[in-house]
Structure 1
Amino acid sequence: MDFIAFIYNLIHKNNTWKYYQHIIAKGAFLKNVKFSITGKNNKIVIGRKARLRDCKIKIYGNNCLLKIGDGSTIISNASFWLQDDNCKIIIGNNFTMEGGHIASTEGETITIGNDCMFSNDIEIRNGDSHSIIKANTDERLNWAESVTIGNHVWLTAHVRVLKGSCIANNSIIANSSIVTNQLNVPNAIYGGMPAKMLKTNIDWDRDRYKYHQ
């Protein structure tokens, strides 16, 4: 498997060779994945059998970590951005994502559990990228805060997850919702702007054909 992945990555357009000292991707399958890394002691770890296609990974800082799990991980049309020192994006095993942007800044962390399913046009960020300050003072109001997403979480299309948010295990976030706070009850559907609990005592499955009315 590792040899097949090596040949696959040679054939497809990637620039891992340019940043070989930062990237560990043995056994991963990368197609048209572009890396841009500036700084020292940065690390990108992509698990065995993980498949990434048409993705962009950018690091601008020192001591940053992007870790993507192995297994049935499939990610396409996504960008990962780590800016500032000591930022982390940590993603569990068997993760799928159809498109979007995940950005960690100001030394904070984005943690995503195992067996999560993200649809297209997903945005997750733990900071605002720019400063909001009190008028006529230099007091900043919008410091970055870490984001935590549990295991087996389904983010449907066009969801936004903002700084300081937490999503419990086995949750579903409804289409076009914006998560801004702590959604701590597991096995629930949340939706709205901002997202609030809509239904409890639920679970979800990737396979829609094995269930019948």
Structure 2
Amino acid sequence: MVLQKIKSIMKESPFIMQVIARIYRFVHYNNAWKYRIWGGNTISLSSAFLKGTSFDISGKNNIIIVGPKARLFNCKIKIIGDSNRLEIKSGSTIISNTSFWMQHGSNEIIIGHDSTIEGGSLAAIEGTKITVGDDCMFSSDIEIRTGDSHSIINAVNEKRINPSDDILIGDHVWLTAHVRVMKGAVIPNNSIVGNSAIVTSKFDKENSVYAGIPAKHIKDNINWDRYLR
């Protein structure tokens, strides 16, 4: 009872939470400090808890924001280029064993409040954006990428035919294990994407299940819960 009361006081006090988070990050060393000092980059960790998380930034005017109470475990953040933005919002946000990659300039990766990721990679290149809504649940071995990282050329006119494109994932979306979300994809609110599916389309029907290679709409009028009822 006393321990629960102490925990409650800690959570309700932003100042105490910030002090505890700073101590936690100091004990579980991360190298964010050097990118604050050199390179003209902004890293705001507030009351976030980081363990085994590394930063590798080559560029300037990049912004990384991890909101209060968010937790990152064994993550890698790599930025190559200028004016990129990574924002991981506050709440019961837990991200583990995940890499974030931004290459070229003016890319964005936004993770919503209270979302969880158990493992995988998110890559935004060529000035594109990955948006993940609130209360999403991503399983392990998830890959989300806005581009192919290499050029595909039309053999007749020598023009590139594989431009990068934004990805939008709505609120309360469950990506099950081994899902791939490719450039230009849209996944609506309250949806489930089945195991090992590859999402390449802009879907618009909420409360649905999408599955297959490539993913297709297979069921509607559903929702999901993190806990068994």
| TM beyond 0.5 | yes
| TM-score interval (norm. to shorter) | over 0.9
Q: Identity over the aligned pairs, expressed in percent? A: 56
Q: Which runs of 5+ in 2 are unaligned?
A: 1-16
Aligned counterparts of 2:78 and 2:138: Cα–Cα separation in 1: 20
Aligned twin of 1:3: 19
Residues 39-78 of structure 1 correspond to what in structure 2 (within 5 A)? 39-78=59-98
For the aligned residue pairs, the C-alpha RMSD in angstroms reads 0.8
1:138 deviation in Å?
Answer: 2.5
Q: 80, 101, 105: which is aligned to 2:100?
A: 80
Structure 1 runs (4+) deviating above 6 angstroms are: none
Q: Which is higher, the Rg of structure 1 or of structure 2? A: 2
Return 129-138 or 28-37, whichever deviates more. Answer: 129-138
Residues 132-143 of structure 1 correspond to what in structure 2 (within 5 A)? 132-143=152-163
Partner SS, residue 80 of structure 1: strand
TM-score, normalised with respect to structure 1: 0.97
Q: Which amino acid aligns with 1:157?
A: A
Residue correspondences, number:
209
1:136 deviation in Å?
Answer: 4.9
What per-residue deviation string (whole Å, max 9, x for no partner) do you get for residues 25-62 of structure 1?
A: 01000001000011111000001000000000001011
Aligned twin of 2:31: 15
Q: Which amino acid aligns with 1:64?
A: N
Aligned counterparts of 2:148 and 2:42: Cα–Cα separation in 1: 27
Residues 137-156 of structure 1 correspond to what in structure 2 (within 5 A)? 137-156=157-176
Q: 183, 187, 195: which is aligned to 1:167?
A: 187
1:65 deviation in Å?
Answer: 0.1
Q: Which runs of 5+ in 1 are unaligned?
A: none
Specify which structure has the higher proportion of helix.
2
Partner SS, residue 24 of structure 2: helix
Q: Which amino acid aligns with 2:218?
A: L
